């Protein structure tokens, strides 16, 4: 994306590529990805970012969702093209646990802003819907 892209445009581009990667992966659990992507913003608002991430990690729900979110929130760079790897699923949670309250607030705000785009694209791809 051009250097003049706004932060919101870069969020959207990253989220779109993350959803496309799941939609194109025959091994991905698309229904689970869609369901938990849609639920994650309300979990963050209700319980906090750390608790919401810990829940998904403990249940082993959607590590690819956690990886994409971690990559964006911690780096704000383009979604990596294969064979580049995304961060581990627990990377953002570890950062939140070891960070201060200002970092938690910033990461929470950025996560919610990113998830607005991700959820829109999940819906556009029909992920999480009954097939």
Q: Where are the domains of the chain?
A: 7-125
CATH class of 7-125: mainly alpha
Name the band, by pLDDT with cuts 50, 70 and 90, for residue 3.
Answer: low
pLDDT class of 129 with cuts at 50, 70, 90: confident
Residue 21 has a pLDDT of 94
116 vs 76, which has greater pLDDT? 116
pLDDT at 116 over 60: yes
Give pLDDT, residue 130.
57
Q: Write the CB contacts of 106 (distance below 8 Å, at least 6 apart in sequence).
A: none
Q: What confidence score (pLDDT) does residue 5 get?
A: 87
């Amino acid at each position: 994306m051009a250097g003049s892209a706004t932060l919101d445009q870069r969020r959207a581009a990253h989220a779109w590529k993350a959803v496309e990667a799941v939609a194109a992966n025959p091994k991905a659990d698309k229904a689970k990805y869609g369901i938990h992507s849609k639920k994650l913003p309300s979990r963050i608002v209700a319980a906090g970012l750390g608790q919401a991430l810990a829940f998904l990690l403990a249940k082993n729900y959607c590590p690819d969702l956690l990886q994409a979110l971690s990559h964006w929130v911690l780096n704000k760079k383009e979604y990596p093209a294969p064979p580049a790897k995304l961060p581990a699923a627990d990377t953002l949670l570890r950062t939140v646990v070891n960070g201060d309250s200002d970092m938690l607030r910033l990461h929470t705000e950025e996560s919610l802003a990113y998830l607005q785009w991700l959820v829109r694209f999940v819906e556009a791809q029909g992920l999480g819907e009954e097939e």
